[in-house]
Amino acid sequence: MIDFGYSLTASSRISLDNIDQKKIKKITAIEPDFLKCMACGSCAASCSAGNFTKVNLRMVILLLNRGLDKEAVSLIEGCMLCGKCTLVCPRGINTRNLIGNILKIYKEV
Amino acid sequence: MNKQVLVIGGGPAGLETAGQLENLGYKVYIVEKSDKLGGHLLKWDRLFPDSISAAETLQKLLEPVVHITTFLGCEVVSVNKTGGHFYVQLSNEATLSVSSIVVTAGFSLFSAEKKEEYGYNIYNRVVTSADIESYFKTKSDDRIQNPKSIGFVHCVGSRDEKACNKQCSKVCCITAVKQACEMKELYPEADVYCFYMDLRMYGRGYEDLYLEAQSQYGIRFIRGRVSEVAEDETGRLVIKAEDTLSSKPLKITLDLLVLMVGMVKNSDNEKLSSLLNTRLGDDGFFQCANPILRSTEGESEGIFFAGASTGPKTLPESINEAKASALAIHGYLSKQK
């Protein structure tokens, strides 16, 4: 292809139309507390890995709900399952169970 | 002779004030500019957060006032104060002599047409929170045809300087959550979204309803203000907002959009306040004597307030203020010769 010196930038826009909700339903069935997140950020603030990696559970839950599965999963890969986020979550979400199951369901091929 | 009190506005605050004053032995008059008592409560189906029936609530408010002299379709034309008495002329030619006046004139709903970018009365599938309440009552609205995806826009005409309403309307957040759950009950297959800037769940039971909306009803909350609405070739609505929690622009196609219209000042507040020799705040609502200690009293003697005439309030707040106002009037009139 001829290089004209410019390229197209992919859109960063989220489209909520036609999001495949199968996996979200699956995760919600195992861990119903998935729906309870109110995006306060306590989990991310207390995260042992968060200072050095992109680990951010608040963002993971959000991105899964927006259909951005790959980006979401990439944000928990550094998680060490220390469980500090479980301690601080005001809605009492079993975050460790949630993370384990997200990894299981979303890494399935 | 019993001392006489005029209640301006026959909504919930006015009805409760009138009932309380009659109980205390005063001769009460209600003047209401529309042709029916009940105010905005007439249009509502169920009340947050416990889904109590609006019609039954109104019935209970009306029972104690059946004997009270009521002027419907009527407004105050002039007020002359001499000594401790107000001589009031009404638009139906009646003249009253009263010792005290309570302003329970309430609020108006924001006209959704003013936010043209949301397409109310332009696109067929855009409705307001008031429209959806009357839909719950009648189960009939041509614009609502088995929607598969429904969006609620919070803060329409509230917290909006350009719309000349800086105030938070207080009731819309919880109303949106209530209506979202009710729509999900009617249409269990539908995806329901709430677009919010902040969720102000300050009242008892509100946070519980919010949690229930998330975990039981699966309502999805998106933090971001809808910036524009367009119609696609099939008549569905294309909504744009920023998902501020992920800092990404967001697009969604919906079958129904509900605009949570806020509480704004009445357009005739200025006229009424000049007749009563009271002041309005910068927000156009009536100014009370002291917002903490004397919130139901006016700055000029003998004038009192209750309900949303002094700013957005929930229904129980208005009812409580009505009781407080009646007691303040009783205190004032007891001292008067």
Say if residue A109's pLDDT is above 60. no
* Closest by Cα among B265, B264, B263, B288 to B276: B288
With an 8 Å Cβ cutoff, are B246 and A36 in contact?
A: no
pLDDT of residue B251: 97
Q: Which of B 62-121 lie inside 8 A of A, CB atoms?
A: none
Low-confidence ranges of chain B (pLDDT < 70): 1, 337
Query: For B38, phi and psi rounded to 5 degrees?
Result: 130, -20
Residue in A17, A35, A58 closest to B215 by CB: A35
pTM above 0.90?
yes
The 10s digit of each residue's pLDDT in B213-237 is 999 999 999 999 999 999 999 999 9
* Distance, CA of B93 to CA of B171 (rounded, Å): 37
With an 8 Å Cβ cutoff, are B215 and A36 in contact?
A: yes
- Chain A nearest-CA distance from B114, in A, is 27
* Distance, CA of B122 to CA of B330 (rounded, Å): 50
pLDDT of residue B84: 87
Chain A residues with a Cβ under 8 Å from any Cβ in chain B:
12-17, 32-33, 35-36, 38-39, 58-59, 62-63, 65-66, 68, 91
Residue B169: CB atoms within 10 Å: 27
Kindly state whether B253 is in contact with chain A, defined as any CB-CB distance less than 8 angstroms.
Answer: yes
Interface pTM, i.e. ipTM = 0.91
Half-sphere exposure of B19 (CA within 13 A, CB side): 20
With an 8 Å Cβ cutoff, are A62 and B211 in contact?
A: no
With an 8 Å Cβ cutoff, are B253 and A17 in contact?
A: yes
Mutating which of B248, B250, B254, B255 best tests the A interface, going by the most A Cβ atoms within 10 A?
Answer: B248
Q: Which two structure tokens, joined as six digits, stand for B27?
A: 């001769």
CA B112 to centroid of chain Cα atoms: 14
With an 8 Å Cβ cutoff, are A66 and B215 in contact?
A: no
The 10s digit of each residue's pLDDT in B31-55 is 999 999 999 999 999 999 999 999 9
CA B244 to centroid of chain Cα atoms: 29
- The model's confidence at residue A8, banded by pLDDT at 50, 70 and 90, is confident
The 10s digit of each residue's pLDDT in A22-81 is 999 999 999 999 999 999 999 999 999 999 999 999 999 999 999 999 999 999 989 999
Q: Where are the alpha helices (DSSP H) in A2-107?
A: 22-30, 42-46, 57-65, 69-74, 84-88, 95-107
Residues of chain A with C-beta less than 8 angstroms from the C-beta of B252: 15-17
pLDDT of residue B1: 59
Residue B85: CB atoms within 10 Å: 16
Per-residue b or e along B31-64, where b marks 16 or more CB atoms closer than 10 Å to that residue's CB: bbbeeebbbbbeebbbbbbeeeebeebbeebbee
With an 8 Å Cβ cutoff, are B218 and A35 in contact?
A: yes
pLDDT of residue B183: 98
Q: What is the DSSP letter of A10?
A: P
Task: List all residues 6 or more positions away from B122 whose beta carbon is below 8 Å from its beta carbon.
Answer: B116
Q: Which two structure tokens, joined as six digits, stand for A41?
A: 């950020």
Residues of chain B with C-beta less than 8 angstroms from the C-beta of A91: 211
Domain range list for chain A: 22-107
Contact present, B171 and B177 (Cβ < 8 Å): no
Q: Which two structure tokens, joined as six digits, stand for B209?
A: 């309803």
Kindly state whether B234 is in contact with chain A, defined as any CB-CB distance less than 8 angstroms.
Answer: no
Half-sphere exposure of B288 (CA within 13 A, CB side): 22
Kindly state whether B162 is in contact with chain A, defined as any CB-CB distance less than 8 angstroms.
Answer: no
Task: List all residues 6 or more positions away from A28 whose beta carbon is below 8 Å from its beta carbon.
Answer: A34, A35
Q: What is the DSSP string of B151-219?
A: EEEEEETSSBTTTTB-S--SSHHHHHHHHHHHHHHH-TTSEEEEEES-----STTHHHHHHHHHHTS--
Kindly state whether B223 is in contact with chain A, defined as any CB-CB distance less than 8 angstroms.
Answer: yes
Residues of chain B with C-beta less than 8 angstroms from the C-beta of A17: 251-253
Residues of chain B with C-beta less than 8 angstroms from the C-beta of A13: 248-251
Domains, chain B, in order of start with CATH, read: 4-107+265-335 (3.50.50.60), 112-263 (3.50.50.60)
Task: List all residues 6 or more positions away from B32 whose beta carbon is below 8 Å from its beta carbon.
Answer: B9, B10, B14, B70, B71, B72, B73, B74
